[in-house]
A and B are shown apart, each in its own frame.
Chain A
Amino acid sequence: MPPDRSSIIEDMLVRKSPDIRYSEVTPKSAYLNRRRFLSTLPLAGAALLSSRAYGAVKLSAVKGPYSTTEKPTPFIDVTTYNNFYEFGTGKEDPSKNAGKLKTSPWSITVEGGATKKQVFDLDAIMKMAPLEERIYRHRCVEAWSIVVPWIGFPLNVLIKAAEPNPKAKFVAFESLYDTKQMPAARWAGIPFPYIEALRMDEAMNPLALLCFGMYGQVLPNQDGAPVRLVVPWKYGFKSIKSIVKIKFVDREPPTTWNLANAHEYGFYSNVNPTVDHPRWSQASERRLGEFLKRKTLMFNGYGDQVASLYTGMDLRKNY
């Protein structure tokens, strides 16, 4: 007998999830934020939205190192306030437009100075190492920040698998660019495909995460599905989303925001409260969900892990 409409909605809302371990991360109320949904949306809309939010594929992971004890930002905020210019430049555009993104099948092509120049299937990549949950601070160059329980494993796992040759000093990443799936991209005002890069020693640092999920589930499209980078000591735009290509090179490669405006967005873009963005101060930040601003920490609070990467460098010049 086909289930009736109300039971479908009920099933969407109270979907059973045997492998969920999300409760270990944050109280349910913090990310459900039902008040905001239910007060503003008619029932059908709420069911639709919640099916997108909670009906997603669960992803279990073991607790990884480097996690902060700070409270994760509500899920609803992390999924409705995004910078993903391929899907529009408004903060809420990606959550509205990224639903069209086809994330399966997916693969990453390795190019440049490496032995394993080949296409890696995403399913194979995800089996390269156990998935870890890491709760990181994430600081946007626009002076707002979030705390996110990411799921992934160190980027250096994939890099080692690609076997880069010793001449490779940098690793560049490229996002998917498909005008059919991303019609809003033409108005973004920045060149696509989106490209980002790290120095090899930065990429090998165990903090740099190759990320497939967050909040106990696979990445929502607007947050960079199905695979993204998380580089928590750098401004958010370095943490490139929806990666389709990785290239090993011997010289500092061009990067998107640096191409768009070199004066405002440097190659390194380490979180640094002492070096202002030309248009605003970087000394403090607004944590989403908080009223008062908080002080921004050097390297976003990850100095113990990464400060040694930049010894002797003038961070004012190499902003």
Chain B
Amino acid sequence: MTWKRLRWIKIPVFLLCLVPVALLIWKGFQQDLGANPIEFITHATGDWTIRFLCITLAVTPLRRLLGLPDLIRFRRMLGLFAFFYGCLHFMTYLWLDKFFDLSEIVKDVWKRPFITAGFLGFVAMIPLAITSTTGWIRRLGGRRWNLLHRLIYVSACAGVIHYYWLVKSDVRLPLLYASIVGVLLAYRVIAAQIKPARVRPARDLTPAS
């Protein structure tokens, strides 16, 4: 099936990506966000940021493993959704937790490693969101653009560390995300190792001196 015929799938996928925030709003109206609604919102938006980062990072491996190269057409949208939930998460902190108290925020980012990590992960996504357009890919050139967009590795790692440092003692979930990100990054390392090996068989065959 050609991409043209599959194009319409983007719309339901887009709507699907909005479900978490829609649910949050719905629960908010139902007064169903529990005893500490602001904490609930903070955790939900944070969870979905790291989940979308993982989903975005899974696109490249899945394309090859499933033989579905057209999956690339969803990557920008998924990455932008990671940024979208990251923005909501950051705004919740900025507004509902700190009430825009800038000195408090600077102190937090500076003094508290888990906030530093989260902030770093968020900031690293900003240039990626800005340069996500076709125009920017052309302006930067594919090679440089690809290099820049490796910043998502920083975001994902920082996100996992942020989560791990946040929890008090039960580290099961942070470790789960750490292993998912680990596998997705390890895939890239291995894939990069395999490819050059294939193009340079001759050198590999030369006996070691």
Contact = CB atoms under 8 A, between A and B. Distances in A.
Interface of A: 35-36, 39-40, 76-78, 80-81, 85, 89, 91-92, 144, 187-190, 260-261, 276, 278-281, 286, 288-289, 291-293
B169 A36 contact: no
A279 B30 contact: no
B149 to A, nearest CB: 31
A39 B31 contact: yes
Interface SS of chain B: loop
B34 interface: yes
B104 interface: yes
Contact of A80 (B35, B39, B113, B168): B35
Contacts of B167: 89
A53 to B, nearest CB: 14
Most chain A CB within 10 A, of B32, B36, B167, B171, is at B36
B114 A92 contact: no
A260 B171 CA distance: 13
B153 interface: no
Given A188-B169, A260-B169, A292-B99, A278 B32 contact: no
Nearest to A76: B35
Contacts of B34: 80-81, 91-92
A36 B165 contact: no
A39 B38 CA distance: 20
A89 B169 contact: yes
B172 interface: yes
Contacts of A77: 35
Contacts of B165: 279
B112 A279 contact: yes
A17 B95 CA distance: 45
Contact of A85 (B31, B114, B169): B169
Nearest to A81: B35
Given A80-B35, A280-B112, A189 B169 contact: yes
B170 interface: yes
Interface residues of B, number: 24
Nearest to A190: B169
A188 B172 CA distance: 9
Interface string B84-109: 00000000000000010000100110
B112 A278 contact: yes
Interface string B165-208: 11111111000000000000000000000000000000000000
Contact of A286 (B31, B38, B168, B169): B38
B104 A281 contact: yes
A187 B36 contact: no
A175 to B, nearest CB: 16
Contacts of B112: 278-280
SS class of chain A's interface: helix, strand, loop or mixed?
Answer: loop
A77 B31 CA distance: 12
Contacts of B32: 36, 39-40
Contacts of B169: 85, 89, 188-190, 260-261
Contacts of A81: 34-36
A35 B31 contact: yes
A257 to B, nearest CB: 9
Nearest to A36: B31
Contacts of A78: 35
A260 B165 CA distance: 14
B158 to A, nearest CB: 16
Nearest to B96: A291
A76 B104 CA distance: 32
12 contacts: A40-B32, A76-B35, A80-B34, A81-B34, A89-B168, A144-B36, A279-B114, A288-B35, A289-B35, A291-B38, A292-B99, A293-B99
A91 B167 CA distance: 12
Given A89-B167, A91-B39, 14 more contacts: A36-B32, A39-B30, A76-B35, A80-B35, A89-B168, A91-B34, A91-B35, A187-B172, A188-B170, A189-B169, A279-B114, A280-B108, A281-B104, A293-B99
A78 B35 CA distance: 8
Interface in B22-64: 30-32, 34-36, 38-39
Contacts of B114: 279
Contacts of B30: 39-40
B42 to A, nearest CB: 11
A126 to B, nearest CB: 29
A286 B114 CA distance: 20
B157 to A, nearest CB: 19
